[in-house]
Amino acid sequence: MEPDRIETNPNGAPQTVIVERRGSGGGLLIGLAILLAVIVGAYFLLNNANNDNARTGAVTSAAKSVGDAADKAGDAVERATK
């Protein structure tokens, strides 16, 4: 931070001049943009995880159906051989 400047006014008395610096808000805009990017990224990651779970469930269901069909076929072959 810049120190205060001491100047003299026309009648010779010293006076302190305080210079205030204020930001333009650019940092706030960058922060909001980064926050928005994080939110969008998190949404896509969670959505991808849900899709993976749905695919896993579908494959599990299909495998169970194939297993049931194989059991039935095995039973039919067993009955046919008797």
Summarize pLDDT for 4-58 with one digit per residue, the tens: 566 667 776 666 767 777 777 788 889 999 999 999 999 988 888 777 777 887 8
Domain-embedded: residue 8: no
Domain-embedded: residue 15: no
Domain-embedded: residue 31: yes
Residue 52, class by beta-carbon neighbours within 10 Å (0-12 exposed, 13-18 middle, 19+ buried)? exposed
Residues 6+ apart with CB under 8 A from 19: 2, 4, 5
For residue 45, give its domain range: 24-81
Across the chain, how many H-helices and E-strands are there?
1, 2
Domain-embedded: residue 17: no
15 close to 7: Cβ distance less than 8 angstroms? yes
Domain-embedded: residue 7: no
Q: How many domains does the chain contain in total?
A: 1
Domain-embedded: residue 43: yes
pTM beyond 0.85, yes or no: no
